[in-house]
Structure 1
Amino acid sequence: MASKAAIKRLTKEAQLMDKDPPPLVYARPREDNILEWHYILRGPPDTPYAGGEYHGQLLFPPEFPFKPPGIKMQTPSGRFAPNTKICTSMSDYHPHTWQPGWNTSTILIGLLSFMCSDEMTTGSVTASDADRRKLAAQSHAFNLTQKKFCQIFPEYVGPEIKDLPNMGDKAKPNSTSTQSDGAVDGDDKTQKVGLDTLVSSPASGSTASQGA
């Protein structure tokens, strides 16, 4: 059962996500469980994931924001094993690097940046760029076979893939993503990661990763 602090924080984050979602990212909680969020990531241009639609989960603990969430991706991507927890410095693999100031947008921008890098961690898989492009082309059709995707995102259910609320065609604010040592804003090791970084440097080290 979620704590009062978790309910308050996640309710506020859901409102913020609807009002001002980051580029290529969207997420919302289940109506019957605010601790279980579902997200959609869109593959950045000029990466093997371009045109892809990737569905996954953020599994928040009752103690959030003082403890980190588990992170899973359900859609086959050639980057992460489906339905397997992904190890990053923002996930429950590394509670010692978690910062309560990080929010849903921070986590998902960091995950998308990490997805576009070559760094391996627990939950990663290897695949060729050709295979990843093939999976990207098949991703929406796969999502339509998934009951939870259809329940949580009914507006994205249809024969054609639909744009997210922010596809990067407006102002591109920077979002903070941590490096492997879990640095946070204010630390000289922190690196700002915005959409331009995700698009222009798909193999950069600006990720939220930390191998387990």
Structure 2
Amino acid sequence: MASKAAQKRLTREYKSISENPPPYITAHPSESNILEWHYVITGPEDTPYHGGQYWGTLVFPPNYPFAPPAIRMHTPSGRFQPSTRLCLSISDFHPKSFNPAWEVSTILIGLLSFMTSDEMTTGSVSTSSAERKFLASRSRWWNSTGGGSQAKGNFATKGNVKAGDGGAKFRSEWPEVDLENWEWMRKNKIDAATGAKPDGDNGSSCGPQLGIAGSSGNQAQAVVDAVVQQRDAGRGWLYRNKLLVAGAAIFIYVLIARLVNGNETLA
């Protein structure tokens, strides 16, 4: 149960973040527990997360703001392990470094900043840009279906939400957003069970080619280099340098011919 100080502080912060939401971020406390906040981050432009819808929770301690919240992101992003506590300077992993002056908006702005960086920590994962774009394209579907599951309830508590609840927890916290997601899936002909388009036109749904690093241009160049190396490996030195050998043979032939002609003249 929240202390009076935490109750007052979080009520004030909800009013503040509702009136002046940070860019790409919206958040609110659960109706049943003011210590459990739910946020949605919209993937910023010029990032692999562009267009993605990332849902997560902040679970505050009863003595907030004198201790930080546990931070989780439930939506698969390719950046964080879903529903796993994140080790950040603004999370409950580092209570001594938390500043009581930091607010919910400060915490979420810090989370977004970390998300778009390449820094690693407990709870983060390393994936390719292609995989993150792929997950972003499926994020609305994942949030509203629980990853395609059919269950209607029985979701975990304390913000620890994973695939398997049929989207029940997301729907209970974000009913309007959930309706928008279903309308988006209808317009885009998304199969609710799989997240794919029935006609097979799924964009990047084949996923990234794991184990191949770098951009597509670098990958193409790597393939070309490998083909050249394999081709040359099966050929001898004479074949690879045939022009040089031919030129040298002609030069020697002309030189010998001139020497022979010179000797015949002297004779």
- With structure 1 as the length reference, what TM-score do the two structures score? 0.75
Aligned to 1:53: 53
Residues 1:59 and 1:43: Cα distance change in structure 2 (over 3 Å): same
- TM-score w.r.t. the length of structure 2 is 0.59
Letter in 1 for 2:170: F
Residue 118 of structure 1 corresponds to which residue in structure 2? Answer: 118
State the shift of 1:39 in Å. Answer: 0.3
- Alpha-carbon distance between aligned partners in 1 of 2:122 and 2:109, rounded to the nearest angstrom: 19
Q: Find the aligned partners of 1:96 and 1:6 in 2 and give their Cα distance.
A: 18
Q: Aligned-pair distance for 1:112?
A: 0.5
Match of 1:180 in 2: none
Where does structure 1 lack aligned partners over 5 or more consecutive residues? 162-212
Cα distance in 2 between the residues matched to 1:127 and 1:15: 37
Amino acid at match of 1:122: T
Q: CA deviation at 1:45?
A: 0.3
Does the alignment pair 1:155 with 2:181?
Answer: no
Structure 1 residue 160 displacement after superposition:
4.5
- Give, in whole Å, the separation in 2 of the partners of 1:55 and 1:157: 11
- Is 1:18 the counterpart of 2:18? The answer is yes
SS of aligned partner of 2:16: helix
Secondary structure of the 1:144 match is helix
Percent identity of paired positions between Structure 1 and Structure 2: 58
Query: SS state of the match for residue 107, structure 1?
Result: helix
Which whole-Å deviations, capped at 9, do the CAs of 1:152-198 have from their partners, x for residues lacking one? 1111013256xxxxxxxxxxxxxxxxxxxxxxxxxxxxxxxxxxxxx
Give the superposition deviation at 1:79: 0.2
Q: Which residue of 2 aligns with 1:138?
A: 138
SS at match of 2:100: coil
Post-superposition offset of 1:19:
0.8
Tell me which residue corresponds to 1:28. 28
Structure 2 spans left out of the alignment, 5+ residues:
146-166, 185-267
State the number of aligned residues: 161
- Whichever of the two has the greater Rg, that structure is 2
SS in 1 for 2:35: strand
Q: Where do 1:62-141 residues align within 5 Å?
A: 62-141=62-141
What is the match of residue 198 of structure 1?
none
Q: Give secondary structure in 2 for the equivalent of 1:41.
A: strand
Structure 2 CA distance for aligned equivalents of residues 97 and 18 of structure 1? 27
- Structure 1 letter corresponding to 2:6: A
Q: Deviations over 1:24-58 (max 9, x none)?
A: 00000100100000000011101000000000000
Structure with more strand by fraction: 1
What secondary structure sits across from 1:62 in the alignment? coil
- Separation (CA, whole Å) in 2 of partners of 1:137 and 1:103: 30
* Structure 1 CA distance for aligned equivalents of residues 80 and 183 of structure 2: 24
SS across alignment from 2:169: helix
Taking structure 1 as reference, are residues 160 and 46 closer, same or farther at Cα in structure 2, changes over 3 Å only? farther
Secondary structure in structure 2 of the residue aligned to 1:157: helix
Per the alignment, residue 43 of structure 2 pairs with 43
Q: 150-159 vs 69-78, which deviates more?
A: 150-159
Distance 1:17 1:100 in 2: 17
Aligned Cα RMSD in Å? Answer: 0.9
Aligned twin of 2:4: 4
The residue aligned with 1:173 is none
Q: Deviations over 1:119-174 (max 9, x none)?
A: 0000001111000000000000000022221111111013256xxxxxxxxxxxxx
Task: Provide the rounded CA distance (Å) in 2 between the counterparts of 1:156 and 1:108.
Answer: 19
Q: When you count helix as a share of all residues, which structure comes out higher?
A: 2
User: Matched residues in 2 for 1:155 and 1:23: separation?
Assistant: 19
Q: Distance in 1 between matches of 2:107 and 2:170?
A: 20
**Runs of 4+ displaced beyond 6 Å:** none
